[in-house]
Amino acid sequence: MNAVPTISTTSEPARRDAIATGSGMDAVTLLVGDLDQQVRFYRDVLLFEVIEQPIDRLAGSGRPDVVTLGRHGVPLVVLRHTPDLPPQQRGQAGLFHSAFLFEDRATLAATLASVARRAPQQYVGSADHLVSLAFYVTDPEGNGVELYWDRARADWGFDGQGHVRMDSLRLDPNDFLREHLAEPAPSDAAIPATAPGAASIGHVHLQVGDVPSARDFYVDAVGFDVMAEFHGALFVAAGGYHHHIAVNTWNSAGAGPRASALGLGEIGIVVPTADDVAALGDRLAHARVQARHDGLTLTFEDPWRNVIKVTAG
């Protein structure tokens, strides 16, 4: 989010086919070229812990080809080693950023301090979005990352149509650190290997070819509700959250389906029950969206070949 939104005043009727309230996001899978470098960034800079690291026994290398990292046992990012793929080009559809939601400002500040000391070159900006405070970095392979904390829902503003009010106001990262960093570390050696406090996947922001097609897919087919929209961007969610998925065309207007490349591998969505997975499968079939349902996971693609996997919580 780098632009000031103007909230749509278009009235939308209540929809009976909305995705289940209580739905949210699951770990994001990234296809990476240099697995060791990427693991070091998410582990040593963002202070995620390695949760799972299966060995590539088929290749006989004794090394992992997939590494899952997260906080307090909750998976946040899955790194899949795919060194033969080319880098993603700037104008392609795909990932704009993965957004990690921190439970409190002290936990967010500890992570931001680690970025400042261990990889300051990866920091790209910050913003007060009214509903949240956000800081932006890129990982070593150019994948966007948002680190953020939500204000209480009681403090969010809405228009008469139920659309949340968001903005992009100045947020000084140094002021934030001075106010919320619990124990400022005098040197890199004093930074803990892991940060206190939990985190989760708050939302995923995509760059797409056009917003109307994204709206048709994520709202009309998948069942998310529109929460905000402005020039070139759309924000959708379940259960009244400010957004679980955002799309924009700021760098990718007119982009077609993605070619195979490094970057986004899969988006994970969690719905409350297996019945909700089945209901979504029925909705997608009605919308003529091809999907595979193996009894546990529903897998399908958006119009730009971004892979989405839905499971029951």
SS3 67: strand
What is residue 50's predicted lDDT score, i.e. its pLDDT?
A: 95
Calpha distance 296→72 (Å, rounded): 24
CA atoms within 13 A on the CB side of 303: 19
What is residue 68's predicted lDDT score, i.e. its pLDDT?
A: 97
What is residue 196's predicted lDDT score, i.e. its pLDDT?
A: 64
> If we measure between CA atoms, which residue out of 72, 79, 74, 73 comes closest to residue 42?
79
What's the whole-model pTM score? 0.89
Calpha distance 7→163 (Å, rounded): 7
Distances 120 to 32, 77, 91, 124, 212 between C-alpha atoms, Å: 21, 21, 26, 9, 37
Instruction: Express each pLDDT in 253-307 by its tens digit.
Output: 999 999 999 999 999 999 999 999 999 999 999 999 999 999 899 999 999 999 9
Specify the DSSP element, H or E, that contains 308. Answer: strand 307-312
Calpha distance 231→246 (Å, rounded): 13
